[in-house]
Structure 1
């Protein structure tokens, strides 16, 4: 017998699909009736996530399509222009400063019995137990030595030894601050004329002060105008140094000590002013004065 279709009749697959769709519809309707707020929120979340995904894809495609090397170079240049980096002098000063000390030498007047200051110099802490390097001429003949640390703490300096051939003296602080930092030393083996160096100390008692310059020469010899012994194997530099800088550190841009400032050369009658020629004892010689291993 032929099957006849009526206008409302459907094929078996279509009926199956409609049946599934109808059942899904009924489930959603039932879910909405039971939890209307939850279903509304879920729908909103799904819609928002979809829109965000589309927006992110559009941005990614735009950035990938439009970003050029010129854009990257311009962004880098702008960042470098707007970023202010500290100067080498600032880095050197801030690094070495906690290890720099002011040294004052005193004697007692035999007539008045009053104590008077006869010298001001600089020293540098090279061991955190309070071991300090300075110039011998800063403390030679002193009856009392006073050390002032960067935190303002004052204590007596105890003489430990000397290397007259290098104009070096070793002091030990009687009382050591808890947070004392020893300076970092660097070999002079790779030091060359033209390298930037900085002298830190108390010129004419003013300071701490920093001056900038370069290494002018190596293996120099200096003989004091007073006819003292000659100092050899010195670092010549042109960073300003004056009385009071004696015994202070000569440092690199990284704040590492490469020498101990010891003398200035001035051909004029007034030997106490700087004219561009200073000398420092290489730190290798200075370190050996306290028994530290050479670099």
Structure 2
């Protein structure tokens, strides 16, 4: 090959390497995402244990806002609920409890936005869920089965098996559950069906891009199963996530 052509090819390859943004592998992304994943629960001096984990959340916005599932909150949660708390990781790896207040909630899509007291933490970027495709591999981090496995974030890979409606039409009226009826009344919406196993403690955790760490959805273990799987006699191993477009709308509404 002539030297002139070899130099031209090397120059083109170098240009492409410079122009293309570096893409982290999943291990690097997990290390970046974990400090933004928080425990969501309640704290009462009369309880035993005093802190009760209810689900997962993650930091967004300026780092003092927390996204989670609405069902993770106590049923009676209000904007000034003194029992509502989140726990964040400090630089030394210890959990630090913070008071939390409810900013906004979207019950039909089972989302809630909280504000935590104290210094902000590292916020996750909320990505464009419209770019997610069936067959794409994502990942999610949370606290499966509550505190049984310890308060250590656990990450799973998740293939997007289907992008479908949150509410399935029932084959017969006797199989319509109250939750499904409410969801049909409020209007169905698109969800991500995942080829991965999540557990109740994962509820509210971020579903994120394995290279960029952008949040593409929020893991949901209650609302969607109650509407799509009401006819099943036993729960399946299917997991679901609410697309991040609804997180963006909730954050915008809370401003």
Q: Is the 8 A contact 1:105 1:138 kept in 2?
A: no
Q: Is the 8 A contact 1:148 1:154 kept in 2?
A: yes
Q: Is the 8 A contact 2:42 2:51 kept in 1?
A: yes
Q: Is the 8 A contact 1:96 1:256 kept in 2?
A: no
User: CA 1:169/1:262 → structure 2, altered by over 3 Å: closer, same or farther?
Assistant: same
Is residue 88 of structure 2 the alignment partner of residue 155 of structure 1? no
1:21-80 Cα distance to aligned partner (Å, 9 max, x none): xxxxxxxxxxxxxxxxxxxxxxxxxxxxxxxxxxxxxxxxxxxxxxxx9xxxxxxxxxxx
Structure 2 segments unaligned to the other structure (5+ residues): 1-5, 7-22, 169-175
The alpha-carbon deviation at position 186 of structure 1 amounts to 1.4
Following the alignment from structure 2 to structure 1, what is the Cα–Cα distance between the partners of residues 28 and 195?
19
Identify the match of residue 131 of structure 2 among 184, 190, 197. Answer: 190
Give the paired residue count: 198
Q: Is the 8 A contact 1:102 1:123 kept in 2?
A: yes
Structure 2 residue aligned with 1:138: 72
Following the alignment from structure 1 to structure 2, what is the Cα–Cα distance between the partners of residues 88 and 292?
34
Is residue 242 of structure 2 the alignment partner of residue 285 of structure 1? no
4+ residue segments displaced more than 3 Å: 86-89, 113-119, 264-269
Following the alignment from structure 1 to structure 2, what is the Cα–Cα distance between the partners of residues 232 and 182?
26
Structure 1 segments unaligned to the other structure (5+ residues): 1-68, 70-85
Q: Secondary structure, in 3 states, of the residue corresponding to 1:276?
A: coil
What does 1:89-168 align with in structure 2 at a 5 Å threshold? 89-106=26-43, 114=47, 119-141=53-75, 142=77, 144-151=83-90, 152-168=95-111
Following the alignment from structure 2 to structure 1, what is the Cα–Cα distance between the partners of residues 122 and 177?
36
Structure 2 residue aligned with 1:236: 193
User: TM-score scaled to structure 2, two decimals?
Assistant: 0.68
